[in-house]
Amino acid sequence: MQRETRRPSRKTTGEALARGEEPLPQLSYRNRSPRGERLQLGWDLLIIVLVIANLALLLFDSLFLIPPLNNAFEALAPGLYAAYDTTIHANFLAIDLAFVAVFVFDVLLGWSVAIAERRYHRWFFYPFVHWYDVIGCIPLAGLRWLRVLRVISLLYRLQRLELIDVRRWYLYGVLAKYYTIALEELSDRVAIRLLGSVQDEIRHSDVFSRRIADEVVAPRKQQLVQEITQRLETSLSGVYADNRALIARYISALVGRTMHESHEIQRLRRLPFGSQLANAMDQTLSDIAGKLVQEAVAGLRSPEFSSLLERLADSGFDALVATDTRSERITEQVLIDVLEILKEQVATKRWQDRYD
């Protein structure tokens, strides 16, 4: 029994992302047969050669029209000058139209292949995507130089086929370097301007701090109270664990000083065996106080103590977020200073570290 297969409908990248789906990859040269791939590669190389030749001819003929260069060419090579003037320059439009005919055929051929491969969502998308190829075919002086974009497009095809690696080219490295520098400088300027506008908005807003408290902090009150409670419990437990011996000595010294200053204990020491009894009481009270502290620290992890801390944090939280004129000004100044630090950080020219 032959299994029936369904061809998935192709979606554009924008439609797929709008639906939360992965866009289907476009058909590439890898989907073609080796023979078709070689034909496409040969045709692309031929078009690159023709475009370079056409651009070289455009450049030379443009220089030929400049009187000083024209006179210098005639003086240096009169025979070659006459041959070029009568053969090429006089028929420049016809020669250019011959190139244009090939380029138009290339556009129509690429359009037909794109339709056959269903490369785009609609059949008429090709001339819009390859607008530079279409406009470059117009034989007008101002539009002919757009044909240089065809070279870039063809190089991209060869790069996609992994037949060349432009990232290893020196020219690509130079262009990538200055493109990165220009993009970073531009983005830094935009970011600094944006942060400056935010600072001005904070300075001239009368309700900014109140809105932060009401719309940002207050809805997260429960989470913040729980976080504060947890941090207090962890902090208290950690402080006791790290300073247990020091706390024990402090408690012993405190009990000893209190008993030494007590008049009743002083009278007790005057009695027979009073000193031994006072010392025993001192040691006993120190042990009791130390055990009380240990029990209190152990109780930090109890639900009762957590509930107590949570109530204390909850009651103190409302006092912390309550705003008045002074607190609003302090909050606004803190935010302005933070944004100023961000502006200084953004203004750092990181590209200098990369290229030094």
| 225-267 per-position pLDDT tens digit | 777 777 777 776 677 667 767 777 777 777 777 766 777 766 6
Q: Do residues 229 and 340 share a domain?
A: yes
Q: Quick one: 140 and 39 in the same domain? A: yes
- Residue range 166-196, pLDDT digits in tens: 888 888 888 888 888 888 889 988 988 888 8
Higher local confidence (pLDDT), 37 or 32: 37
Record the pTM.
0.46
Helix (H, G, I), strand (E, B) or coil at 322: coil
Same domain, 253 and 155: no
Domain count of the chain?
2
Res 83 pLDDT > 50: yes
Domain presence at residue 233: yes
Asked if residue 105 and residue 32 are part of one domain, the reply reads yes
Question: Residue 105 has what pLDDT?
Answer: 92
Contact 137, 100 (CB under 8 A): yes
51 and 143 assigned to the same domain: yes
Do 102 and 232 have their domain in common?
no
DSSP for residue 262: -
Q: Is the pLDDT of residue 5 over 60?
A: no
- Give the pLDDT score at 349: 80
Domain, as residue range, for 102: 13-164
The whole-number pLDDT of residue 168 equals 86
Same-domain pairing of 28 and 155: yes
Residues 6+ apart with CB under 8 A from 121: 10, 11, 12, 15
- Tell me whether residue 326 is in a domain: yes
> Measured between alpha carbons, how far is 106 from 44 in angstroms, rounded to an integer?
9
Is the pLDDT at 28 greater than 60? The verdict is no
